[in-house]
Amino acid sequence: MFEIVFPFLFWLKRFRLPLLIIGLGLHLGILFSYPIPLFALAMINVYLLLVPISFWIKILSFFKIKPLNNDQPIKSVASFKQLSLIIFVALFFQMNTSINHSSLTRPYVFKLYNKLGIANEVDILSRKIRDFSSKTMGIFSHGVFIDKHFKGYNHIISVSYMNNGVEEWLPLINKKGMPGEMNRGANWAKLTWRTNECLINQGKLKAGIIDFCTYWAIINDKSLSGDNKFIIRVKKVELPKEYKWQKDFLKNQIDQPWSVVGSLQFHNEEPLIEILDIESF
């Protein structure tokens, strides 16, 4: 919703500060939580264009830095207007691609177009616009972290550490089966797509678990020798029905039981790992 209203509201001066705060907050969250930092930083730079010229002049004055010349503020305002127009055009092309050609939104918007009797005309025009914008601006309809990326993703893997009979769950996946404190950014991408995949590869699963356990043990000063070991568990979950709400779906998945499927120990600094075939579990 924010991205839809943004190109229409940022022209109005009184909306720029709220849009700036929301936009920075949204993309700072992406920067710290998702493994796409360059995208987040690029968008943050765009939102900085909403900062009034007077603010930058005050910053320069505070550090006793003089503008290059007396016309600098005026040139900056002109540049802002030119950049705003460019951003508006780019957002128009992006919205056309994201709304009319994304597998997440296309079924809904074209249902509306069909009711209006313009589905065929909109589709032809929208495809021409998409072809132009993809070739000239690199704008594509590939979504990030959407439902179809998790098709077949019906296993959750967790790991705990056993030391003298005391068990401690690693902050990757908690007891509810939800991401822990360690499961962010690049770690989230590695665990979600390169360790516990939709179709689990046993070799990648073992290698990923060894990496995570070793890293966690080192940064937390945990012993990897003796009888200490890591317990590997799996939770089988149901996949949601596409585009259909189900009552208590999340609660039902949280309540699914964990099953022990393997273990990891280190002998002379060499990992010894055993895991049952998860896909046949």
Q: What is the DSSP string of 205-256?
A: HHHHHHHHHHHHHHHTT---STT-EEEEEEEE-PPPPTT---TTHHHHHHTS
Residue 248: other Cβ atoms inside 10 A: 9
| Predicted pLDDT at 102 | 72
Q: In what order do the strands lie in the sheet with 258-267?
A: 166-169, 155-163, 229-236, 258-267, 270-275
pLDDT at 145: 65
Residue 176, by phi and psi: left (phi above 0), alpha (psi -120 to 50) or beta?
alpha
Cα–Cα distances (Å) from 55 to 17, 25, 41, 100, in that order, read 12, 19, 21, 39
Under a CB-based contact definition with an 8 Å cutoff, are residues 239 and 155 in contact?
no
Average pLDDT per run of 10 along the chain, which is 281 residues long?
80 86 90 76 82 81 70 52 76 82 79 91 90 77 69 92 94 93 85 89 95 95 90 92 82 95 92 92 74
- The structure's pTM equals 0.63
Residues 6 or more apart whose CB falls under 8 angstroms from that of 185 comprise 32, 33, 34, 35, 37
User: Identity (one letter) of the amino acid at 163?
Assistant: N
